[in-house]
Structure 1
């Protein structure tokens, strides 16, 4: 079969499935999700083995935990949370939100979504998460509209094209899950060439979706992707990647793109949602920290850089500190030491060396930390960047490799710093996907008004307090995507949200808050000694929660 014929057949299959999906009931969807959980767990071993081989990771070492956590574990949690939502709708006919979970914060309607259960409190102790709605959305509107894709009138049959990400193995899978169960669109997923090795694992995990004609998998290059999104049988498009790739899809390349922009005539004449890049900031609010707290946060930052060789759209890229913080030098030395202690990673993503060298050349004082064998890149660290240089490459372009920069803002105390840091992040840094805001409990208590103002004013789709923005991605009950407001001609970090397993409408951002310096090492931290058995145990728990799987998780997870 020719590629064109295969494309036509795949889309025709999904169009048949779309008609059935549009009229299916929550009970049917919940049963399908239960089957997917079993099949995904069965595929997990091969899924992670393929990812480890591609990224140069020994699958028997703690480093392999990254692939478990960012692969089948995240996917299984997504499936489990959606199954809970659909079963709730099956029994009540209403969305999975109670009026007691709604409140007002900084003038917005806010839904408390985590923790939901006792096991949530045990697995992520002292973490909580909220979904903030757009301004003007009342609690009554939230109660009325949540889950309406299933509780309202049947939607028109629709087929989506998904252009998968090449970096994190759960992204394409979770985009499929979101489209089918949160938007009721069947989909054709084109795997990214970098991780096309996932095709067999995806086919096994999602066999039920393929059998139902809800999903087709395709492998190919950019030419196939272009044919897919422009196909008459495709109603909508979702992609994960860079703003540059998005613009080529929407407007066309080079001269064609410029002409189409000038005429305001997009080449793509169908809806497109996207999750794109970001120069991810970590804002360090000045306070008085103990040595243990300082070392914990240094390791926290190093984790946000090193995970997945820094090929993450939420990887820490710019530390924002206060020039007047008395512990700034000590903290930066600790961050440097933490990064330097982490072995280099295989630079598996195409173009990594060129991007790295360009950033190194453009960044004054950039320092290579440690050595790197062939095929690897050492971590690159630079401090003292001029915050007034709004055209700095470090501020305006996502590095997409192991680079971390720091800039210090002049400020008179934590409240003044929070206001300045908010303006800097909103006005100078590229992107609005996610960020971290680190603040100790005493400083937060004494500067509560300024802290709340920062949460309200920061234009990011996910704000995670004291921890990595990826926590919001992994919770899945929190929506994941850019802050609303971007247009297709200034796309930045994209448009639309995925995950969002409560199925909220009119979301503005997710806010996740965690403990400042917990005694128990978070499972995702680099150097967690028992990360691999703990991540395997978490995979089993997400597949089938129970006392035994929870005990095994605690047994390994508490020994970080």
Structure 2
């Protein structure tokens, strides 16, 4: 039976019950739609998203305090309508392939890692990908015993059995990135055949009218309902007898409160192994993500560019990201360590000023400022660089700060010795398993050879980024996004399960994304015979917080994804060269 919340009025409970009852009827309709009809539905969502993309980006930027001329408004184009448009494109392609009797892995190169693990090279997918994110690639690594035949046999997930209903799913939406609630709804619907009740985080209430228009094709068919409200609404819904599954993007504290309750009762339940929540749950819960810098011989331009890269990993969305990198891991024995740190401090201080907007982040910042007076603070104390001793159980190691503060620590060694030590440190000392970043110059990576690839396999994170940021994996719907496998209800610091995963693949171990170490024009050296590294057309990726044309380029790329045609890319890419 549903447990009535004492804080929830009877009319509110009745309204929520009615929404769930409507979804129960919608679940039956969903099982009757053919794969062709489902692909068409995704194309309709693509069109309705394109129709509101300007409103979406403006509402998201305004809600975060980014005025009409703020240089960082491009973030809200990329992480809102752009990602939604690309997600519907990829999913529609998968569903149409299945409808035509094909397999989602048709045409996808499959090979093995040096350790013999199967991987699918799913990105880039077409010419536009190769232009927009030139030099970037993405791979899905499978569980150790998955063969090509097994991977193909399972590809498609719920769309292999479209007539089997997954019931009603509750999605507790994220409060920081506006595309996340939409992506989570689409994954519930297409991976598991679950119609959805989306409970929007209060920080995104202003986006509800946009969501309702973008997702109108789902709402009209009774496949989606959207509700607002605080914790009391969420508490009622998670324990509702007609909800078959819960998915949350949020904090581990919220997850634990849902699963175990709070206070002494929660402790007793944990001790007895008797969770309060009896409904199955998946979650994406963030964590403390590292940036491991493998020492090498870097030019001054390399030092400056990668410092801006590090600042972007920490400061995008004011640091209010589960994908944000929190701990920079350097080598004590790298002769360029101090020079690089100087560049990092300048990049952190020199990015455009912005508001720390997420609830309670100001309080976390104040605590850090009070406890770390020796840190390097900038932007009126709204961002900082904090150095700490490695493995000291520092707050930067054990608690996701969700604020624009970068931790810096160091380990001894160079080459493989350093890399192995940094991987062990990240696995054993940092909270969570969501994403890890590695920066390594092409000469050093070539010298390490297959040992570098084997080291990646020992790095237990759901997404690993080599010479790029894990956000590229997050924004690539072809790739899965979620914690490294192995989390439990008792211990799930970064969550359970994955989302995105537009190929609808099963038994995933992780995603690996790779990018160019050097931007254009210095990446031209990669075109020479026997050269090392990856070529890129991008002089500076538009998601860098230091990209001067980031807002214009991000909007232009979104309009292209809305259906502008390949020629419409030309002025946008020319703007990218002015970044």
Q: TM-score, normalized by length of structure 1? A: 0.96
- Picking from 537, 541, 552, the partner of 2:560 is 541
1:70-469 correspondence runs (5 A):
70-91=79-100, 93-98=101-106, 101-105=109-113, 106-152=115-161, 154-363=163-372, 365-371=374-380, 377-383=381-387, 385-389=388-392, 391-411=393-413, 413-469=414-470
1:545-556 correspondence runs (5 A):
546-556=565-575
- In the TM superposition, residue 99 of structure 1 has moved relative to its aligned partner by 7.0
- In the TM superposition, residue 35 of structure 1 has moved relative to its aligned partner by 0.6
Measured in 2, the distance between the counterparts of 1:509 and 1:100 equals: 17
Which stretches of structure 1, 4 residues or longer, exceed 6 Å deviation after superposition? none
- In the TM superposition, residue 535 of structure 1 has moved relative to its aligned partner by 1.2
For these two proteins, the number of residue pairs brought into alignment is: 551
The equivalent of 1:516 in structure 2 is 517
The equivalent of 1:374 in structure 2 is none
Measured in 2, the distance between the counterparts of 1:557 and 1:495 equals: 37
Measured in 1, the distance between the counterparts of 2:551 and 2:439 equals: 27
Q: Tell me the secondary structure at the aligned position of residue 77 of structure 1.
A: helix
The 8 Å contact of residues 419 and 450 in structure 1, kept in 2 or not, is answered as no
Measured in 2, the distance between the counterparts of 1:388 and 1:168 equals: 31
Measured in 2, the distance between the counterparts of 1:240 and 1:37 equals: 23
Measured in 2, the distance between the counterparts of 1:365 and 1:62 equals: 30
C-alpha distance after superposition, 1:52-91 (max 9, x if no partner): 2211101333311011111111111111111111111121
The 1:183–1:550 alpha-carbon spacing in structure 2 relative to 1, beyond 3 Å, is farther
Q: Tell me the secondary structure at the aligned position of residue 216 of structure 1.
A: strand
- In the TM superposition, residue 450 of structure 1 has moved relative to its aligned partner by 2.9
- In the TM superposition, residue 151 of structure 1 has moved relative to its aligned partner by 2.3
The 8 Å contact of residues 99 and 139 in structure 1, kept in 2 or not, is answered as no
The 8 Å contact of residues 464 and 512 in structure 1, kept in 2 or not, is answered as yes
Which shifted more, 52-61 or 195-204?
52-61
The equivalent of 1:62 in structure 2 is 71
Measured in 2, the distance between the counterparts of 1:17 and 1:87 equals: 22
The 1:148–1:225 alpha-carbon spacing in structure 2 relative to 1, beyond 3 Å, is closer
Measured in 2, the distance between the counterparts of 1:28 and 1:388 equals: 54
Measured in 1, the distance between the counterparts of 2:226 and 2:162 equals: 29
The 8 Å contact of residues 238 and 272 in structure 1, kept in 2 or not, is answered as yes
- In the TM superposition, residue 423 of structure 1 has moved relative to its aligned partner by 0.1
The 1:545–1:435 alpha-carbon spacing in structure 2 relative to 1, beyond 3 Å, is farther
The 8 Å contact of residues 73 and 551 in structure 2, kept in 1 or not, is answered as yes
C-alpha distance after superposition, 1:398-423 (max 9, x if no partner): 01111101111011x21101100110
Measured in 2, the distance between the counterparts of 1:472 and 1:301 equals: 16
The 1:83–1:221 alpha-carbon spacing in structure 2 relative to 1, beyond 3 Å, is same
The 8 Å contact of residues 240 and 275 in structure 1, kept in 2 or not, is answered as yes
Measured in 2, the distance between the counterparts of 1:107 and 1:98 equals: 21
Measured in 1, the distance between the counterparts of 2:566 and 2:411 equals: 49
The 1:433–1:118 alpha-carbon spacing in structure 2 relative to 1, beyond 3 Å, is same
Q: Tell me the secondary structure at the aligned position of residue 358 of structure 1.
A: helix
C-alpha distance after superposition, 1:250-280 (max 9, x if no partner): 0001122111111111110011000002111
The 8 Å contact of residues 30 and 83 in structure 1, kept in 2 or not, is answered as yes
The 8 Å contact of residues 21 and 157 in structure 1, kept in 2 or not, is answered as no
- Picking from 23, 46, 50, the partner of 1:41 is 50
Q: Point out where structure 2 has 5 or more consecutive residues left out of the alignment.
A: 1-9, 521-538
- In the TM superposition, residue 363 of structure 1 has moved relative to its aligned partner by 4.5
Q: TM-score, normalized by length of structure 2? A: 0.93
1:14-29 correspondence runs (5 A):
14-29=23-38
Measured in 2, the distance between the counterparts of 1:76 and 1:4 equals: 34
- In the TM superposition, residue 314 of structure 1 has moved relative to its aligned partner by 1.2
The equivalent of 1:559 in structure 2 is 578
Which shifted more, 533-542 or 153-162?
153-162
The 1:221–1:296 alpha-carbon spacing in structure 2 relative to 1, beyond 3 Å, is same
Q: Tell me the secondary structure at the aligned position of residue 73 of structure 2.
A: helix
- In the TM superposition, residue 442 of structure 1 has moved relative to its aligned partner by 0.2
The 8 Å contact of residues 473 and 513 in structure 2, kept in 1 or not, is answered as yes
The 1:297–1:218 alpha-carbon spacing in structure 2 relative to 1, beyond 3 Å, is same
Measured in 2, the distance between the counterparts of 1:128 and 1:276 equals: 25
The 1:35–1:325 alpha-carbon spacing in structure 2 relative to 1, beyond 3 Å, is same
Superposed CA RMSD: 1.4
